[in-house]
Amino acid sequence: MKDVAARAGVGLKTVSRVVNEEPGVTPDTAARVQAAIDALGFRRNDSARLLRTRRTASVGLVLEDVADPFYAGLSRAVEDVARSHGALLFTGSSAEDPRREQELVLAFCARRVDGLVVVPAGDDHRYLTPEIDAGVATVFVDRPAGRLNADVVLTDNAGGVREGVAHLIAHGHRRIGFIGDLPVIHTAAERLRGYREAMAAAGLQVAPEWYTMGPTTPDRVRAALASMLSGPEPVTALFAGNNRVTVTAVRVLSGQPRPIALVGFDDFELADLLDPAVTVVAQDAPGMGRSAAQLLFRRLDGLAPPEPARVVLPVRLITRGSGELPPAP
Amino acid sequence: MKDVAARAGVGLKTVSRVVNEEPGVTPDTAARVQAAIDALGFRRNDSARLLRTRRTASVGLVLEDVADPFYAGLSRAVEDVARSHGALLFTGSSAEDPRREQELVLAFCARRVDGLVVVPAGDDHRYLTPEIDAGVATVFVDRPAGRLNADVVLTDNAGGVREGVAHLIAHGHRRIGFIGDLPVIHTAAERLRGYREAMAAAGLQVAPEWYTMGPTTPDRVRAALASMLSGPEPVTALFAGNNRVTVTAVRVLSGQPRPIALVGFDDFELADLLDPAVTVVAQDAPGMGRSAAQLLFRRLDGLAPPEPARVVLPVRLITRGSGELPPAP
């Protein structure tokens, strides 16, 4: 605001009047202030008394969908760390829409959050540079930022799928299917890479009809799986790219005449009580949220090294039955 | 702030200096301002420029635990309605701690939220009266406010349990157990009432060892169920008071030598794929969140009648197998 006042050659009070649309400013002066605002990229701050140098004790969390159990667990962990630092949490779901992600992030910044934990939907986060420069600590989680060097907490996605697919191969499978999320999603692309690498490492050729990427809606997953299970060379095993795919796959496979092996990425409640119990590559959703939030507060407290950190959390293969089924004859 | 200034006989700027702990105020004046603040119950507002008469386009949501699938679904629905009204969402989990609920609610009010959606943990919400009087629209959801007449959106808890228990009775059960949450929780007390009423309506006496209320941790539920299933007159069926109880009950019952019928309150993912598939009394978590948030914005927009509204959403019995098992001989 000081810069705007200096550039327009007016006092702070005049800038304040223009920004708040208060009377007492001539049209000429208002135009000069507006020009200075435009030139400097000044953004109206809804709580301008909260200067950037003073903490607001609030943090913004942008998820894909809080109703997804994976993100619900991550969300609670971020909240608990924020609480231990006396900070409140703004939350919002991007629904995988990059515009909605940006809208939420900038709205949180306009409320002067001290920091952000973001599960990115978009692939270009340069819009955040002015906020980060202004002191908004930002940690990406689950997926890295696009075109921006920033703190990030990830899961070993490719490594986890490699381990799960190698497990299926070790149980005699050669024709293994893979159903993943939209290929623009970092985790989905990484998991597909893990699948390809595991197949290649075992000297297995991947037929194009064995893998498919797209929305993880039940209809899409049903159709994809039906197609993999038909034809002259049907798959004998499936790697499900996330918990949404696994849940639909369990439904489809329970209705199949012959047993199909299944390994899913992400653990889920009651997986051990299904018949067969579901073998999964488990990631630690609360651990990711905790790790991201702790990194955020270390950065806010000046306790993190200046260069952005990259944390990769390990996964865990949990064998329960479905991933140990032999290929159907 | 004007009232404080008038009472202390100082200017607004002096009040601001005292509140913000800025220099330039004599100890005498500071003491006079502080006395006026105490007398008037003035609360420091972190974003004082956002006057109460101006909307901040933010809403606070206090849940019990966002990691619980029931609340995760409710949370997403509140967020979606808020978004459609251009409002951001603060969220927080009370973890069933009344002090934590109050702390969150007042912290949200200090940030000048326009409204609150609260799943109450406590039983005395008179602390909210000044906020509601100051214009903070407040809707309680899942449980009513305590000692405060306020908007509320509920589920038909007692009616739902009556229907579920009557269903077990219709399938030949006479010794029916009930495991509920802490009795101080409104929904838990209502569900216990439904159990008692259904048993009484069928002329069945309830033995004290057939029902138990307490934390829904796996250990507690395991122990409670083990005790109901032992002794000379074990129960032949169980009504599980919420989804946390049902999930543990499914685990315990799957290891029993004889089949025990089960009806659970709350639906849950994959309930239909368990063996037996689980019969539930389903409540509509997103519907509750949506209904509460819509009521909140109607009230903010002056479109709700002045007297507090009480909305009770119906439940739905979904028969899948576990609730239709006959009593084991």
Looking at per-residue pLDDT, the higher value among A29 and A168 belongs to A168
Q: Which residues of B touch A73 (CB under 8 A)?
A: 67
Torsions phi, psi for B100 (to 5 deg): -65, -40
From residue B29, alpha-carbon distances to B5, B7, B22, B39 in Å are: 11, 12, 13, 15
* Burial (0-12, 13-18, 19+ Cβ within 10 Å), A264: buried
Q: What is the pLDDT of residue B41?
A: 66
Residue in chain B closest to A59 (alpha carbons) equals B90
**A194 and A243: one domain?**
yes
State the pairing for strand pair A316-318/A279-282: antiparallel
Residue A53 has pLDDT above 60, yes or no: no
Q: How many domains does chain A have?
A: 3
Q: List the single residue in B49, B91, B251 with the smallest CB-CB distance to A48.
A: B49
Query: Is A88 in Cβ contact with B90 (below 8 Å)?
Result: yes
Q: Tell me which residue in B76, B83, B91 faces A89 most closely, judged by beta carbons.
A: B91
Same domain, B28 and B169: no
Gyration radius of chain B over CA positions: 25
- Measured between CA atoms, the residue of chain B closest to residue A74 is B67
User: Which candidate from B48, B269, B273 shows the least CB-CB separation from A49?
Assistant: B48
Chain B residue numbers touching A58 (CB-CB < 8 A): 90, 111
DSSP letter string, B81-102: HHHHTT-EEEEEE-TT-HHHHH
Q: Do A104 and B88 make contact, defined as CB atoms within 8 angstroms? A: yes
Mean predicted lDDT score pLDDT of chain B: 92
Query: What is the dihedral sign for C-alpha A216, A286, A52, B45?
Result: positive
Tell me how close the Cα of B91 comes to any Cα of chain A, in angstroms: 6
With an 8 Å Cβ cutoff, the interface of chain B facing chain A consists of 46-50, 56, 58, 65-69, 72-73, 75-76, 79, 83, 88-93, 104, 107-108, 111, 247, 250-251, 254, 268-270, 273-275, 286
Separation in Å, CA of B297 to nearest CA in chain A: 18
CB spacing of B270 vs A250 below 8 angstroms: yes
Residues of B in contact with A52 (CB under 8 A): none
Q: What is the DSSP letter of A272?
A: G
For B83, nearest residue in chain A (alpha carbons): A92
Residue B53 clears pLDDT 80, i.e. is over it = no
Q: Which residues of A lie closer than 8 Å to B, measured between beta carbons? A: 20, 46-50, 56, 58, 65-69, 72-73, 75-76, 79, 83, 88-93, 104, 107-108, 111, 247, 250-251, 254, 268-270, 273-275, 286
Are B142 and B290 in a shared domain? yes
CATH of the domain at B117: 3.40.50.2300
Asked whether residue B51 is assigned to any structural domain, the reply reads no
* Burial classification of residue A85, based on how many CB atoms lie within 10 Å of its CB (0-12 exposed, 13-18 middle, 19 or more buried): middle
pLDDT digits (tens, 9 = 90+) for B60-73: 999 999 999 999 99
B103-136: per-residue pLDDT in tens? 999 999 988 899 999 999 999 999 999 999 888 9
A173 and A278 together in one domain: yes
Does B141 lie in the same domain as B66? yes
Residue type, B60: G
Buried b (16+ CB within 10 A) or exposed e, A47-80: bbebeeeebbbbbbbbbbbbbbbbbbbbbbbbbb
Pairwise pLDDT comparison (B16 vs A77), residue with the higher score? A77
Q: Are residues A168 and A140 in the same domain?
A: no
Burial of A125 (0-12, 13-18, 19+ CB in 10 A): buried
Rounded alpha-carbon distances, angstroms, from residue B105 to A99, A247, B102:
30, 36, 5
The torsion angles phi and psi of A277, rounded to 5 degrees, stand at -65, 150
Q: What is the pLDDT of residue B18?
A: 82
Q: How far is A309 from chain B (nearest CA, A)?
A: 27
Q: Is residue A51 part of a domain?
A: no
> Do A268 and B269 lie within an 8 Å CB cutoff?
yes
Share of chain A above pLDDT 70, in %: 95
CA-closest candidate to residue A155, choices A289, A8, A318, A324 = A289
Find the residue in A nearest to B272 (Cα).
A251
- Would you tell me how many other CB atoms lie within 10 Å of the CB of residue A231? 10
pLDDT of the residue at B239: 98
Q: pLDDT by residue (tens digit) across B176-203?
A: 999 999 999 999 999 999 999 999 999 9
With cut-offs at 50, 70 and 90, classify the pLDDT of residue B42: low
Containing H/E element for A26? Answer: none
pLDDT of residue A151: 97
Mean pLDDT of A120-137: 93
User: Is residue B48 over pLDDT 70?
Assistant: no
Higher pLDDT, B5 or B70: B70
Q: How much is the pLDDT for A240?
A: 98
pLDDT at A50 over 50: no
What is the distance between the alpha carbons of residues B289 and B76, in angstroms, rounded to a whole number? 8
Same-domain status, A65 and A114: yes
pLDDT at B275 over 90: yes
The answer to the question of residue B329 being in a domain is no
For residue A50, is it within any domain?
A: no
Q: Would the CB atoms of B76 and A89 count as touching at under 8 Å?
A: no
CA B96/CA B98 separation, integer angstroms: 6
Q: Is the pLDDT of residue A40 over 90?
A: no
Cβ–Cβ contacts within 10 Å for residue B118, how many? 27
Q: How many CB pairs under 8 A join A and B?
A: 109
Exposed, middle or buried: residue A34 (CB in 10 Å: 0-12, 13-18, 19+)? middle
Least confident of A13-27, A250-264, B260-274: A13-27
**Do B42 and B3 contact (CB within 8 A), yes or no?**
yes
Domain that holds residue A239: 157-283+317-324
B250 and B181, same structural domain? Answer: yes
In a domain? residue B50: no
Yes or no, beta carbons of B93 and A76 under 8 Å apart: yes
Instruction: Verify whether the Cβ–Cβ distance A250 to B269 is below 8 Å.
Output: no
Q: Which helix or strand (DSSP H or E) is residue A212 part of?
A: strand A211-213
Q: Are residues A273 and A179 in the same domain?
A: yes
Residue B49 belongs to some domain of the structure? no
Mean pLDDT of chain A: 92
Whether residues A88 and A124 share a domain: the answer is yes
Give the pLDDT mean for B243-265: 96
Can you give B259-322 as a three-state secondary structure string? CCEEEEECCCCCHHHCCCCCEEEECCHHHHHHHHHHHHHHHHCCCCCCCCCEEEECCEEECCCH
Q: Are residues A240 and A292 in the same domain?
A: no
Residue B51 is predicted with a pLDDT of 37
Is the residue at A35 inside a domain? yes
Which residue, among B140, B106, B111, has the nearest Cα to B123 in the 3D structure? B140
Residue A49 domain-assigned? no
| pLDDT surpassing 90 at residue B16 | no
Say which residues have a Cβ less than 8 Å from residue A80's Cβ, sequence separation at least 6.
Answer: A290
Q: Cβ B69–A65 below 8 Å, yes or no?
A: no
Tens-place pLDDT, residues A173-201: 999 999 999 999 999 999 999 999 999 99
Q: Name the strand (E) or helix (H) holding B225.
A: helix B218-228
**How confident is the model over B204-229, as pLDDT tens digits?**
999 999 999 999 999 999 999 999 99
pLDDT of res. B108: 92
Q: How confident is the model at residue A79 (pLDDT cuts 50, 70, 90)?
A: very high
Per-residue confidence at A46, pLDDT binned at 50, 70, 90?
very low
CA distance A35 to chain B (A): 24
Residue A2 near residue A36, CB atoms below 8 Å? no
Closest CA in chain A for residue B106:
A88
pLDDT value at position B105? 94
Is A183 found in the same domain as A95? no
Reported as type and span, the H/E element at residue B228 is: helix B218-228
Distance from CA of A272 to the nearest CA of B (A): 9
- pLDDT (0 to 100) of residue A54: 64
Tell whether the model's pLDDT for residue A56 goes beyond 60. yes
For residue B213, the SS3 value is strand
Mean pLDDT of B3-11: 85
Q: Is the pLDDT of residue B44 over 60?
A: no
Token reading at B248? 């543990």
